[in-house]
Every structure is written in C-alpha cells, then in structure tokens.
A and B are shown apart, each in its own frame.
Chain A
Amino acid sequence: MIAQIGFSILLSGVMVYAWTEYRRAPVIAVLSMLVATAGLYFVWLPTHATKLAALVGIGRGVDLIIYVWVVISLILLLNLHLKLRSQAELITILMREIALANARTAEQNK
C-alpha cells in the first residue's frame, strides 16, 4: 500500500508537469499523460499488470511498472532536450540582433 501511494504521488506529479508543459510541447505532454495514466492504472490494479506483463513477455507486473517509469523518464529527458533547444533559439535571436546592430556595410569598410 505504501509503495502504491508513493508511486501514485510520483505519477500524479508527472501528470501535473505534463499539463503545465502542454502549451509548449503538446506531443510530449500527451505522451507523458498517457504513460502516467497507464502507470497509475497498473499500480492500483497489479493483477492486470501481471496479466499484461505475461502477455507481452515481461514476466512480472511490477517489472512492467518499472518499465513504464523508465519510459516516463525518457520522455522527460526528451522534454529537457526540447527546452534546451528553445533556449538555443532565444540565444540565436539575441545573437542575431547584436550582429545586425554591429553590421558593417561595404561603404563603412572603406
């Protein structure tokens, strides 16, 4: 029960985070929500997780939950990458304005 509550809090946190990210990266947000929802489902219905795990050849239901968590971690990692890309775009815009403000025309070079 303690593990179920702990996992539920973590997965709920992922869902809240996904919701806050929706405007910036909707694909990532929807993916995170789907996987987190699946995680919550399996945490509270472990027998279903066990059945599904056996079906896909994982073995135990708890392993399936761990795999779900690994997937969530990878999605969040991708989201961090996208955030870095957004920062890089802002830096580019800033650099461009600086470069244009300091541009030297052919006439000025003479």
Chain B
Amino acid sequence: MISDDRKELDPQSIWVVVAAFNEAAVIGPIVAEIVGRNYRVVVVDDGSRDATAQIASAAGAAVVSHPVNLGQGAALQTGIKFALLDDSSYVVTFDADGQHRPSDIPLLINALVDAKAAYALGSRFLGSSRGMPFGRRLLLQAAIWFTRVMTGLRLTDTHNGLRAMTREGASRLSLRQNRMAHASELLEQIAASGLPYVEVPVTIDYTRYSLAKGQGVADSLTILFDLSAQKLHR
C-alpha cells in the first residue's frame, strides 16, 4: 500500500548529488537521465581537468566546482551542503561512473518514507550486481566485517555510493575524510546519530570504466590509515 507521505513526494524537493572528477566521458547521459526523472541534480566538479563541468551543466545540472581536486568525500560533503542550502527534503548520493541506475532512486526515497528512516543505504548484495570481479567481492566482504566491528551497524553492503537521506539525516553528516575513507566515516556518523536507517536492494553495473575508477587493495590500506589517523586528532 502506498502511504500518503509517498503520494505527496515532489521530485523537485529531491537533490541528487554527483561527485565527479574527470568524468566527461560519462557524465552527460547520467545527468540527463536523472534530470529526465524530474529530480534536481548538483554535480560537484572536483577539480576536473576535462569538460566535466560544462557537459554536466549542459545536461541540466547545477554545478559546484572545487578549484582543485580534493577527493570524493570532500565533493560529497560540498554537494550535501549545497542541497541543504536549498529547500531540499531529501538528498541522494549517486556515483558519476555509471555503475548506478537512476531507476533505483525512487526505491531509496520510498524506503525512507515507508520506514520513516533518516537514511536509505543501497545494497548490491540484497539486490544484484553485474560483472563484479571476485577480488572486489572479497574486498567488500572485508569492508562489511570491518564496519560491523567499528560501528556496530549490521549492513550487507558498506561502500555503496548510492544512498538517500532526509534533510535531517543529511544535516547530521559532516564528512572530514576527503578521500575514499568517507564511506566508512559516513557509516560511523550514521551510527553515532542514532537515527533510523534502512537498506534497500539496488543494482550495480560494473563496467571496464567503473572498475578502472574503483578501489584496490592498496586503497583499502590507505582507508584504514586515514580512519586511524583521524581518531588521533581533533
């Protein structure tokens, strides 16, 4: 049964935040598809050296440009802050490399409404993933275990960039990890907020392009170091 809250949802009150660094090759169709669904899109161009900002702008996105490359975590925080400065009711984070499906956005928003949750976290392990390499699967399972130990959150997927949050949920986030450790930091902050969250099955389409942009074992060590270092200073 569709709740009344869901019926009253205005797509224009939903900001989709896309952090992008040198994504000129793929950003146009992604933005166009999201805009076509009537959502508002902000692309945070994280110091790209290519035409990412211009292409995103032409496709109908608001564009916020970092003067230099700061990292995906910094870009997401900028995008979330931009959305909160506006009158958004919901904020969605969406990867720029084409591995997410815009058709999953309403599933996340509906889950927020139906479960009265502050965060809806996409899970490829509840949903599906196409073309995931075995090494990536192992790495993600290790990350899931690490997150359970560090945050107590019993999630099935922890480094999925497709998430939705209410305005209150978004305002509770304050990412300090500029680079890849932001995904773990975000979950730590969700756990610390005490606000309700829900996992939602989503589909991830791995492509050669998205895999080239993804993380490896060396990156996971950097994430561990960054998370540890942050706990040593204020």
Contact = CB atoms under 8 A, between A and B. Distances in A.
B78 A99 contact: yes
Given A96-B78, A99-B44, A100-B78, A86 B233 contact: yes
A81 B229 contact: yes
Interface residues of A, number: 24
Given A96-B77, A96-B81, A100-B82, A109 B233 contact: no
Interface residues on B, range: 20 to 34
Given A105-B62, A106-B61, A92 B74 contact: yes
Interface residues of A, dominant DSSP: helix
Interface stretch (A1-9, A20-28, A36-44, A55-63): A20-28
A109 B67 contact: no
Contacts of A92: 70, 74, 178
A96 B58 CA distance: 23
A76 to B, nearest CB: 13
Interface string B61-78: 111111110100010011
Interface in B35-79: 35, 40-42, 44, 57-58, 60-68, 70, 74, 77-78
A103 B63 contact: yes
B31 to A, nearest CB: 10
B234 interface: yes
Contacts of A27: 231-232
A106 B233 contact: no
B78 A28 contact: no
A66 B60 CA distance: 63
Interface of A: 23-25, 27-28, 78, 81-82, 85-86, 88-89, 92, 95-96, 98-100, 102-106, 109
6 contacts: A23-B234, A85-B229, A85-B233, A95-B70, A106-B41, A106-B57
